[in-house]
Amino acid sequence: DSGVTQTPKHLITATGQRVTLRCSPRSGDLSVYWYQQSLDQGLQFLIQYYNGEERAKGNILERFSAQQFPDLHSELNLSSLELGDSALYFCASSGQVLNTEAFFGQGTRLTVV
């Protein structure tokens, strides 16, 4: 158990819909990272938040957004969903010390039908 909790584990929704994925980081970790893993693209970094503020942005679509709340949990919002958005979405967290390990959750499997 990494200590990072993601909900829900599975999500099936229709094209055009909007969903919210939730991540609770390890206790005390200030950074939260979101990754997307699809069969053809591998693990792609989407976005990072550090103590409530956006810190780094990767290949995140404009239809996707994220935020980190004062209690440090994070949500990834995916809207106007397309079939190609079907993927595993992972959240990771890390502490303040440079170059320590990142802890990944078990992921949310999103299926868009």
Closest CA to 90 of 67, 110, 65: 110
Q: Does residue 31 interact with other proteins by CB under 8 A? A: yes
Least separation in angstroms between residue 14's CB and other proteins is 25
CA distances from 60 to 29, 49, 97, 98 (A): 23, 13, 26, 24
Is residue 81 a contact partner of residue 15, using CB atoms and an 8 Å limit? Answer: yes
- Closer residue to other proteins (CB): 32 or 112: 32
Range 57-76, binding other proteins (CB under 8 A): 58
Q: Position of tokens 């010390």?
A: 97
- Rounded to a whole number of angstroms, the minimum distance from the CB of residue 60 to other proteins is 12
The sign of the dihedral angle between the CA atoms of 104, 105, 106, 112 is negative
To other proteins, the closest distance from the beta carbon of 101 in angstroms equals: 4
Binding-residue total with other proteins (CB under 8 A): 29
Chain positions contacting other proteins, by CB under 8 A = 2, 4, 30-31, 33, 35, 42-45, 48, 50-51, 55-56, 58, 90, 92, 94, 96, 98-99, 101-107
